[in-house]
Amino acid sequence: MSGNSKSDQNYPYSAATALAQSLGNIDEKTQAVVPPVHVATTYIRGADNTYPTGLVYSRDNNPTYKPVEALLCQLEQGQDAIVFSSGMAAATAVFQGLRPGDHVLAPKVMYWALRNWLLNFATDWGLQIEFIDMTDIAAVQQHLQPQRTKLVWLETPGNPLWCISDIAAIAECAHAAGAQVAVDSTCATPLLSQPLRLGADIVMHSATKYLNGHSDVIAGALIAARDDAYWQRIRQVRAQGGAVPSPHDASQLLRGMRTMHLRVRESCTNAQYIAEQLERHDAVAEVLYPGLPSFAGHEIAKQQMQGGFGGMLSVRLKGGAEAAIHVAAHTKLWKRATSLGGVESLIEHRASVEGPGTPCPDDLLRMSCGIEDREELLNDFLQALSN
């Protein structure tokens, strides 16, 4: 099995239909409407000493991944996709595909665990990483080093301030300097924006979040615009390093993805409503949400996101850290936990998670809107605020 999961340019249906029917694939052998879980770790070698199906050993590849990868390829309009054991495994594979001395630009505001990995590991292995303001095209241009910068890493909307970077504009200047562009599109989901169509080379998702959507699988994914030498190297990072999901998790992930369009739509509607309501509240200093006209990145978000601005928002309270921790302590529906993109709404005092050195203000609550009743979510937050 080559593992290549090209998007089908001729697939005539929408993302909603592709998701609900998992591209309409049925199991050839049994005609089952849900693909089987392949638990085998190893495959028979033919008497002629070759592997008839291309499958050898389940650390290299497992057929349970195939429908997930094909669906991701279709949604992101990519040439190939691979699933990983976590979002971090997917993201770090992109950096592990680089070589010592390669220069990388990454955002100052980005997913904290990945920023820490870049600082703690990637730099020790010889990558030259500069953290810059990715909302500022002039800054990107200024820091690109032609032929030395190999990768520009974006995250948009970016955790936890939801900064928007202009994927198309950055891809244009990165490519002119000979660099590839990878986008952590976890919070945008494959439904709200398709970075490859805007010129990015690689898209990354923490499939733990909106793709699976039920807070019960850790997984990640990468989708590539082209099957080039860099991508082949990234594939080898997974095949040789072994950061593969369990077949059961891959199957569970596909089940979750089948309702992603419904969940994402509800989360976006809830987030937009709650952001608008909280923006008017006396105790609130600022609501950070790309769907608000007052938000700095709103105009670019309108261009590169369709159908909603995501389910994530952050609220800064006039009462500072104390007020933020107080609110998180007094919500009942909003569950106090890290992570995002599940059907249940989560709230967290993000600075407490990120620790020293974080660009996250300590008066900030990060909120992941689930698919509950929006009035009930709003009222629960308001009662905690006045409690």
Applying CB under 6 A, the residues found at the interface with ligand PLP are: 86-88, 91, 111, 114, 155, 159, 184, 186-187, 206, 208-209, 218, 220, 340
Catalytic residue among 60, 80, 166, 184: 184
Per the annotation, the verdict on 233 as an active-site residue is: no
When the beta carbons of 67 and 107 are compared against ligand PLP, the nearer one is 107
How many CA atoms lie less than 13 Å away from 253 in the CB half-sphere?
Answer: 31
Nearer to ligand PLP, 35 or 310 (CB): 310
Q: Measured from the CB atom, is 185 or 331 closer to ligand PLP?
A: 185
Smallest separation, CB 200 to ligand PLP (Å): 15
The answer to whether 154 and 182 are in contact (CB under 8 A) is: yes
Concerning whether 209 is annotated as a catalytic residue, the answer is yes
Active-site position among 43, 111, 210, 230? 111
Say how far apart CA 2 and CA 147 lie, in whole Å.
Answer: 31
Q: Is 265 a catalytic residue?
A: no
Smallest gap from Cβ 188 to ligand PLP, in A, equals: 10
Q: Give the residue with the Cβ less far from ligand PLP, 203 or 385.
A: 203
Residue closer to ligand PLP (CB basis): 194 or 277: 194
- Residues 250, 83: contact at Cβ < 8 Å? yes
> In this chain, which residue has its C-beta nearest to ligand PLP?
87
| Chain Cα centroid distance, residue 237 | 19
CB contact at 8 A, 331 and 311 = no
| Nearest distance, CB of residue 340 and ligand PLP, angstroms | 6
Q: How many CB atoms are closer than 10 A to CB 252?
A: 18
| Beta-bridge partners for 239 | none
Give Cα separations from 126 to 18, 96, 122, 188, 359 (angstroms): 42, 11, 7, 31, 25
Q: How far is the CB of 247 from ligand PLP (least distance, A)?
A: 18
Q: How far is the CB of 114 from ligand PLP (least distance, A)?
A: 6
What SS3 class is residue 121?
A: helix
Catalytic hit among 59, 108, 197, 302 = 59
310 torsion bin: left (phi>0), alpha (psi -120 to 50), beta (else): left
Is-catalytic flag, 59?
Answer: yes
Of 66, 115, 150, 209, catalytic: 209
Q: Determine whether 3 is exposed, middle or buried from the number of CB atoms within 10 Å of its CB (0-12, 13-18, 19+).
A: middle
Q: 339 burial class (0-12, 13-18, 19+ CB within 10 angstroms)?
A: middle
Q: Which is nearer to ligand PLP, 180 or 208 (CB)?
A: 208
| Minimum distance of ligand PLP from residue 264's CB (angstroms) | 14
Nearest in space to 92 (alpha carbons), one of 66, 116, 61: 116
Provide the annotated active-site residues.
59, 111, 184, 209
